Amino acid sequence: MEDVIIIGAGPCGLSAAIECQLQGLSVRVIEKYNIVHSIYLYPTHMQFFSTSEALEIGDIPFVTPGDKPFRHEALAYYRRVASHYNLQVNCYEEALSIDRKPEGTFTVRTRTSSGEELEYSARHVVISSGYFDHPNLLGIPGEEREKVTHYFREAHPYTGMKVAIIGGSNSAVDAAMELIRVGAEVTIVYRGEGISSHIKPWVKPLFESMIDKGRIQMRTSSRVISILQDRIVTESLTDGTTTELENDFVLALTGFRPDRKLLASAGVQMSDDMDKPVFDPETMESNIPGLYIAGVVASGRNANEVFIESGRGHGRLIARHIMNTPSSEA
């Protein structure tokens, strides 16, 4: 019997594990992939918007040469933190269900990468699963083609190719800037009327310059309505006119959404639109006593409601509440 089982080994899940462990609680972390898998899925050369200090967990300094760290530095940092605290992380093991027993404890059923199904008992459960497994789909003809991806890793495979980027967030801008460096012909198709105000301030002037110079084509107030093998069809949201563009690859960088299935199966109450779990923001406890929410899974439709710098504090609230709950046997 564990005191706490945490589902998800992202930064917020690791932070919750550390905070609980520091209180003397026995902790096991269940992770479907590798630790901080969401960061692993970021573009290879991505630089964070946040400072390294804002990404720290467990009071372990995140020392980097620059103010804003890169993806590879974050991966090394979180590996080091998990090792420092000797966290028990079961990687490549997927949580399938959470059942609360009449006496108030929980049974967590999992499946390993080899297909073996296991069961664990715990007094408390923290759900800190991420959202990168579930991209926001466009729902248009051709989205299933091999030339379409919702993940951008690096520019090299697109050298000299005609690439359409759907979206106008930082991920779209960063991808466009990398792509033009390898000679790709880049067209951004964005529903907004202009460049997003949330673009990284140190990137925005360079991006605007590339548009002004014609290095990047940008179609605002537009959407892609069909993806064909050698072209895409766009539609203007102002007058409804359509345009066909030659195309080799499509990067549909339209964001991601958290997976709610595990929450729902555990009986966690959702908001009226079934989009956001109901929990006490002072303790992060859901409507199920002893079952807590941490990290981005606590957000609504917009996953950007919760960042690492805000979600990393959830673990401290959870640990404090567990220790202050009279029924806790820890």
Give the gyration radius of the chain's Cα atoms.
22
278 Cβ contact list (under 8 Å, min separation 6): 268, 269, 270, 271, 286, 287
Amino acid (one-letter) located at 287: N
pLDDT-based confidence at residue 100 (cuts at 50, 70, 90): very high
Residue 40: per-residue pLDDT: 93
* Least confident window among 24-38, 79-93, 214-228, 309-323: 309-323
Residues 25 and 122 in one domain: yes
How far is C-alpha 118 from the geometric centre of its chain's CA atoms? Answer: 26
Q: What is the CATH number of the domain that holds 20?
A: 3.50.50.60
103 within some domain: yes
Which two tokens mark 209?
């310059």
Residue 327 predicted with pLDDT over 90:
no
What value does the mean pLDDT take over residues 156-163? 97
Same domain, 211 and 118: no
How far is it, in rounded angstroms, from Cα 167 to Cα 219? Answer: 10
Structural domain boundaries, residue 170: 148-252
Q: How far is CA 51 from the centre of its chain?
A: 18
Amino acid letter for position 8: G
299 and 184, same domain (yes or no): no
pLDDT tens sequence across 103-135:
889 999 999 999 999 999 999 999 998 777 678
Q: Are residues 51 and 108 in the same domain?
A: yes
Task: Determine the Cα–Cα distance for residues 18 and 13; give it in Å rounded to an integer.
Answer: 9
What is the pTM for the complete model shown?
0.85
CB 198, CB 177: distance < 8 Å: no
Residues 253 and 263: beta-carbon distance below 8 Å: no
Report pLDDT for 197.
79
Domain identity same for 282 and 174: no
Mean pLDDT for 245-267 is 88
> 44 with 70: CB under 8 angstroms?
no
Residue 126 included in any domain:
yes
In a shared domain, residues 7 and 127? yes
